[in-house]
Amino acid sequence: MRRFFTPPVIPRPAFQVGDALILFGVIVVLYVGVRLAFAAPAVVRGPEIDLAPTSLPWYAALSVGRMFAAYLLSMTFTLIVGYAAARHRTAEMIILPILDVLQSVPILSFLPVVVLSLTAILPEDFAVELGSIVLIFTSQAWNLTFSFYQSLKTVPSDLREAAQIFRLNAWLRFRTLELPFAGIPLLWNSMMSWAGGWFFLMAAEIFTVGERDFRLAGLGAYLQTAAHAGDVTAIVWGLAALVAVIVLLDQLVWRPLLAWADKFKLEMVEADEPPESWAYDVWQRSRLGRAFYARVRRPFLEWLDARASNLLATVRVRENRVSWLSRGLLGILALVIIGAFIWGMGQAITLLMRLPLEAWTQIALGALASFVRVVVALLIALAWTVPLGVTIGLNRRIAAILQPIVQVVAAIPATALFPIVLVILIRAAGGLDIAAILLMLMGTQWYLLFNVIAGAAAIPQDLIYTTETLGIRGWEKWRTLILPALFPYLITGMITATGGSWNATIVAEYVTFGGQTLQTIGLGALIAGATAQGDYALLLAATVTMITIVVVLNRAFWRRLYRAAEERYRMD
């Protein structure tokens, strides 16, 4: 089956000067946020969280609303940024390093910077709500964007040639070819994004910085309050409510979307067992559903196609009409940005130089310890997610049973279960070191699993039939069909999983339960401790160290594999 994949090309240099400039730019942004944080209210006290089970329906509705708002923001970001990176070489050279940096920014070290800076310039309640949505967005957007980018870069060349033959403009090509081709991976990564959002919901809805106690009413705040109080009954009630929400979303949203998206699968023959959904069947057979397609969906798409095509034509006419005034304004803006960049870097370096040598030694040891935990968690995740993901993606009957289970388990915040894990493992050999790896695994293995499922589900049925006809089975089938087809999805999953693992170190290496604080050596523990104590210099130094490690690994290792996935393992 190797004939379906094109020969490799030599990838570009892994780390470039632009990467360093972008990294420095993020450091400047973080520093500005820290400076704004100094102007935030000295004492903040959020509303009390009621642990009565009767409060859970309202809390669940609030949390789902925040998750939905963050998801809309994430999908908008994905379609714009992912498309620009895939279609324009210059944009790709700028966007990919930025994405590498942003996905490596630990969400829990980014959280106080965002919320404190917002409270310094906006009304407190609105700032905390907006900060929560932004933080959930940072846990949802990156895997969606990387998945969409990877899909656009691996669209088969014969389909692109067909689009050129039919003279489809950029919009029609996007709507009829590129977006449908990316539909299945985007859908599975959407599920993963929601699972990631649930994972960090506890941190996004309630956290403490010094004397500032930020909290929002919601499921995440309910679970974290129950965990801090050691109220196991309330934790069980909160988890039950969360599971109920996840099951409802699976039955009413994700299963119908999977059944609908199956028509976008690239294959010559129809699958024996296409995905099914009772809700999708009811919708299709109902008068309301038929009326929606005839009177809303079809006219809206026709209107959208016409408007988008007219807009593209207008842009082509005006794209070269740039006046000298516009060039002058752009030049002035560039000078202002460069000046602010130089000033911010100087101030950030001054703040970092205040740290004593002992703090930098702690950061170095913590970085090494966290790196070992990330590698161990990734290897354990690979060992089980690949075989299970392929089984779910290729076997519809097994998928019908395991898919909702996987979604429920993936969406349960591991931080809510961590007290139980601690009780079991804290007295064992390794203590929190082993427990930390387990929590990191619980939070990041799903990035791999969902991408493997998406890759297996996207394998054309005619190729599967061909391997069966030729008698190719066992390891030979994995070597010639499954692993090459999965390779782009595996790389996307591993990139996002490692980024998620570094983020998870913050909640895994520094734990508060029942009024006690437990911590181990690691970058995550340093970041969490600095956040709790309001030590902004240590917070900035540890965060910058983590970002640098992730970016260097991405550019020196993962990006080379990404190029191999794009050039060698695309279906043509």
Give the Cα separation of 137 and 410 in Å (integer).
Answer: 18
* Both tokens assigned to 270: 């129809």
H or E element in which residue 71 lies: helix 56-77
Predicted local confidence at residue 16, as pLDDT? 56
In the structure encoding, which two tokens stand for residue 204, read together? 């996004």
Please tell me the distance from the alpha carbon of residue 493 to that of residue 11, in angstroms, as a whole number. Answer: 20
Contact between residue 386 and residue 569 where contact means Cβ atoms under 8 Å apart: no
Those residues of the chain that have pLDDT short of 50 are: 1-15, 40-44, 319-325
| Region of residue 222 (phi > 0: left; psi between -120 and 50: alpha; otherwise: beta) | alpha
Note whether 127 and 118 are within 8 A (CB). yes
DSSP string, 200-248: THHHHHEEEETTEEEE-SSHHHHHHHHHHHT-HHHHHHHHHHHHHHHHH
Contact 351, 418 (CB under 8 A): no
User: Is residue 348 within 8 Å of residue 28, measured between CB atoms?
Assistant: yes
Q: Sheet of 44-45: strands edge to edge?
A: 44-45, 212-215, 206-209
Q: What is the pLDDT of residue 2?
A: 35
Q: How much of the chain is in helix, strand and coil states, percent to nearest 5?
A: 80, 5, 15
Judge contact between 61 and 130, C-beta under 8 A: no
Q: Domain ranges in the chain?
A: 14-276+357-567, 283-308
Q: What tens digit of pLDDT does each residue of 463-518 get?
A: 888 888 888 888 888 888 888 888 888 888 888 788 778 877 877 787 766 566 77
Q: Kindly list the distances between the CA atom of residue 49 and the CA atoms of 61, 68, 215, 300, 483, in Å, as whole numbers in the listed order.
A: 15, 22, 9, 44, 48
Two tokens, residue 184: 């299945």
